[in-house]
């Protein structure tokens, strides 16, 4: 059950990223306001919050990109032990 919920959350996140990328492409081609033009003033208005969000996102992405130490995806799995 937990795996199914996690899969749905990942699918929803990827769909949201697809929508944001679609909007960004549309905005660039039609000279409308891009996402960066919305984010930049918010970061200037609340630099402490922007820094905290950057730290949390960096730790989370780093956690998933670093990979497991053991298991089928570990770097040690492909090496000969002898």
d(CA 57, CA 45): 19
In this predicted structure, the answer to whether residue 82 has a pLDDT above a threshold of 50 is no
Total-model pTM: 0.61
**Average pLDDT of the residues in 11-16:** 96
What per-residue confidence (pLDDT) applies to 71?
Answer: 67
The alpha carbon torsion through 32, 26, 19, 65 (nearest 10 deg) reads: -90
Tell me what percent of the chain is helix, strand and coil, each rounded to the nearest 5: 80, 0, 20
Confidence of residue 73 (pLDDT cuts 50, 70, 90): low
Contact criterion met (CB below 8 Å) for 34 and 27: yes
Each residue of 42-71: pLDDT tens digit? 999 999 999 999 999 999 888 877 766 676
The predicted pLDDT at position 45 comes to 96
Tell whether the torsion through CA atoms of 62, 16, 43 and 25 is positive or negative.
positive
Total residues belonging to the chain: 82
């Amino acid at each position: 059950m937990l795996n199914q919920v996690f899969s749905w959350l990942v699918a929803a996140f990827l769909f949201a990223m697809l929508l944001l990328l679609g909007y960004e492409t549309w905005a660039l081609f039609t000279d409308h306001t891009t996402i960066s033009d919305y984010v930049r003033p918010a970061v200037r208005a609340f630099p402490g919050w922007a820094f905290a969000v950057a730290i949390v996102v960096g730790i989370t992405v780093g956690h998933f990109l670093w990979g497991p130490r053991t298991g089928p995806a570990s770097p040690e799995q492909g090496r000969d032990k002898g």
